[in-house]
Structure 1
Amino acid sequence: MEWRRGQTIGCGSSATVSKATCCRSGEIFAVKSVELSRSELLQREEKFLCSLSSPYVVSYKGCDITSENNNLMYNLKMEYAAAGTLIDVIRRKSGELDVAMIKCYTQQILQGLEYLHLSGVAHCDIKGTNILICDTGAKIADLGCAKRVDSESDLTARIGGTPMFMAPEVACGEEQSFAADIWALGCTIIEMATGESPWPNISDPMSILYQIAYSGRTPVVPEYLSRQAKDFVSKCLKRDQKERWTVKQLLKHPFLAEFSYVKNHNFLDSNSPTSILDQGVWNSIEVESETPNDVFDLQTKYLSSCPDQRMTRLLSSSRVPNWTCEETWITIRDSNNEEEL
């Protein structure tokens, strides 16, 4: 398919997202691009996307390699989301969403997770900046941290995601599976309700990881939410992953029982579109590992020591930006691609 690259709509540390147009049909889509020599992680994401098909997961449009400015570029083509990310919607709604919108988006995110989990895929990085808002509603995007979960896999082999949204077992470096997505969903609901991170009063990364891993605490659920909403979030934020509710259980929770989706609901507005790599969002800046031997090769370094040492190693690289500011929170990704997809 011949296509034309348009304006840049998002930038990350290792990829750029542009608006693109098909020359023949005029169809608009998004293209996530990186130099071919650094495209290992993007190619891994492509292997996930091309095998998935759900109205609640961003659609795959193909991939190709182009020559631009004397560089070979690897391009992952995806569905275009004119309303941007869930975080963009929250900002346009003065920092918080009403209960009806929270129910609507929660229902759709859960349906996306149901599809992924039934497909044997854990997303591993659910958060507002990885949820795109299209004309039909919320869709899960950015599978750069995703992993396949099966009975033979070593669940400690790949640990990734955004620290603020990590479940206790992930912060400890023990396991990352379907239950971790449920914890992250609970954090995302808090994000929708408050416009803030799930741990708003802590900025030091070591403190956050220790808080999640060892304090016994959970993120604070906003008081203004209904009793049913609070109970729903509490089922997501069980510190013991065995007690955490599954997607199937949550879809039957009373909080969503009377949910009714309005087909003509206007999810779009006149604001300029953004994308899953909106650089201005504090927790969407991504630093991806590009060689098996750097600080984010978590299988050989982060997971080879006790929990205290693992968290220390996680924060000890000179490549990590200034972690004291909310706007520099990063997504951690393991670059080991030996796992068969």
Structure 2
Amino acid sequence: MATTPAHALQFDAAPEASAFFFGNVLGQGSYAKVFHAQLKKSRLDFAVKVMDQSFIRKENKTAFVLTERKVMSRLSHPNIVKFYCSFRDHHSLYLVMELCRGGDLFGLISQEYQNQQEQGVSDAACSFELTQFYMAELINALEYMHSQHVIHRDIKPDNLLLSKHGHLKVTDFGTAKDQDGESSDVCQFCGTASYVSPEVLHDKPASRAADLWAVGCLIFQMFTGRAPFVGENDYLTFQVIINHSSDEFEFPSSVPETAQDLIRKLLVQEPDERIGAQQNEEGYAELKNHRFFEGIDWNTIVDQTPLYNPPKLDLPEPKLDGASENWTVAEYFSDDYSESTSDEFSSKRSRNSSSLQRNRPACIGYDEQIRFESTVKVRSKMFNRTRDLYLTDAPRLIVISAWSGRFKRELFLTPDTTVNEIDPHTFDVVTRSETIRITDSNNLAQQWARAILEAVSE
């Protein structure tokens, strides 16, 4: 018997958590986790974003949550993750969304960069054809989004998912700006360090030009494997961005001339001067007619077969019953969920941890100096865990849950510790007893390697 595809499903009424089985954690932020979930009745798979109400109220995030739901409920585009419905219980808010099984653009760039490295090619990642296709799909999504008066404000590789067929899908509208609604955070900092536009750093309102700045960063990163603006910490990254001059910007040979021209026209300090930023139809027409996109059929691109065929993501079947007695997702926000059964969960409340505002962990004494810190992803069995990583002068690496703030582990470093850089984001820390793979999405692998090696040599 034929089954209804998830993307065509319409919920007649808002479901409850009891209607789902919950599985692996697919991603997490400061006040939410995204679970793989399966609807019991149809066995269709979804991504369900679950937000802790108590934390939202405590941290005054209500406006962000309401904006995210409002924005997603009115956006409908093939290159934007589909939103189905929302519901709530006593503890949590739930957003039911399309499940994308093709990974994300960050993973694709890392994979292509490593392939180039293995062939002896440095400072190179994706091909022209691959970059052109995905940037065209992103431009399509942004043109539609901006026509609906929505500014994303956090465009980056991690927020660009890939469907099982390889099409790009914009996700995570948690910091989006709805220009149709009243906004109390017009000039509030939003975004990720390496992709933030200069005007946002100068406390000016974010417009469509801020999203287009991020597109310029992404084009550069797809060709080279690294973000164009990187400092040893967020503050120094911001200084690089503020002092950037498009006329003096240098490119490695892996970036074609047509791409260089487009990047220069996007990474302009003055937002109104960026190509595509004009608040009329001519704006996007000029951008789409740039010679970098020559050969793109904008009307049929969403129906074309992508050049990249993602490997099939085999997720374990969700088994945690949302109808279980005393079950609430908020109480089971465990960092080790995908490695545990429901019986092994402990009831924990989540605490905020931000890569830009991080409290000193209690496990680090004040007689111990923090040498380097960042929010990273640490490989754990089959999954990458989001962690706050600290290097101290002990020397040791301390791993803290970025979600709960709980101490996870420590790794004492010795003079024979080595660091292997895999690509600009990823590195292995090798000790006598183990090897740990770490990914820093801000392209800080080299800085981490240098800091660790300096710490063990002193």
TM-score (norm 1): 0.75
For each residue in 1:230-287, what CA deviation from the matched residue of structure 2 results, as whole angstroms up to 9, or x when unmatched? 11111111122121011332111111121265733353213567xxxxx9xxxxxxxx
Greater mean alpha carbon deviation, residues 212-221 or residues 123-132? 212-221
1:320–1:130 CA distance, 2 compared to 1 (3 A): farther
Shift of 1:163: 1.8
**SS of the residue 2:35 aligns to:** strand
**Residue among 191, 194, 202 paired with 1:172:** 202
Alpha-carbon displacement from aligned partner over 1:156-175 (angstroms, at most 9, x marks no partner): 43331112111111111123
Deviation at 1:138, TM superposition (A): 0.6
Q: Which residue, 55, 78, 88 being the options, matches 1:65?
A: 88
1:97-139 C-alpha deviation (Å, 9 max, x unpaired): 1111101100000011001110111111111011111125111
What corresponds to 1:34 in structure 2?
51
> 180, 185, 192: which one pairs with 2:222?
192
Q: CA RMSD in A?
A: 3.3
Gaps of 5+ in 2: 1-14, 57-61, 115-124, 277-283, 316-334, 336-349, 362-369, 378-385, 387-458
Equivalent-residue separation in structure 1 for 2:226 and 2:135 (angstroms):
17
Q: Which residue of 1 aligns with 2:42?
A: 25
Distance 1:184 1:150, change over 3 A: same
- Counterpart for residue 130 of structure 2: 101
Cα offset for 1:194?
A: 2.0
Asked if residue 13 in structure 1 is aligned to residue 30 in structure 2, the reply is yes
* Most deviating of 146-155 and 176-185: 146-155
Letter in 2 for 1:140: V
Distance 1:215 1:110, change over 3 A: closer
Inter-partner Cα distance in structure 2 for 1:122 and 1:323:
36
Which residue among 108, 132, 146 is the counterpart of 1:117? 146
CA drift of 1:150 comes to 6.2
Deviation digits for residues 69-97 of structure 1, max 9, x if unmatched? Answer: xxx22111111110121101222324421
Matched letter for residue 61 of structure 1: Y
Q: State which of 76, 86, 103 in structure 1 corresponds to 2:95.
A: 76
Larger Rg: 2
Q: Deviations for 1:134-159, whole angstroms, at most 9, x for unmatched residues?
A: 12511111111111236997884333
* Distance verdict in 2 for CA 1:80–1:255, change over 3 Å: same
Q: For 1:93, what is the secondary structure of its paired residue? A: helix
Instruction: Name the residue aligned to 2:289.
Output: 252
Where in structure 1 are there 5+ consecutive unaligned residues?
A: 274-278, 280-287, 297-313, 331-341
Answer whether contact 1:194 1:222 (CA < 8 A) is retained. yes
Query: What residue is the counterpart of 2:239 in the other structure?
Result: 210
Inter-partner Cα distance in structure 2 for 1:204 and 1:145? 22
Once residues 101 and 230 of structure 1 are traced to their aligned partners in structure 2, the CA distance between those partners, rounded to angstroms, is 16
Aligned equivalent of 1:229 = 259
% identical aligned pairs: 26
User: SS state of the match for residue 50, structure 1?
Assistant: helix
Aligned length: 290
Equivalent-residue separation in structure 2 for 1:206 and 1:73 (angstroms):
34
TM-score, normalization by structure 2: 0.57
Q: 1:90 aligns with which of 81, 85, 109?
A: 109
Letter in 2 for 1:82: R
CA distance in 2, matches of 1:237, 1:289: 36
Larger RCO (CA under 8 A, 6+ residues apart):
1
In 1, the alpha carbon distance for the partners of 2:351 and 2:38 equals: 31
Comparing 46-55 with 156-165, which one deviates more in the overlay? 156-165
Shift of residue 19, structure 1, vs aligned partner? 0.7
Distance 1:153 1:46 in 2: 15
Secondary structure in structure 2 of the residue aligned to 1:258 = coil
> Relative to 1, partners in 2 of residues 1:57 and 1:244: Cα closer, same or farther, differing over 3 Å?
same
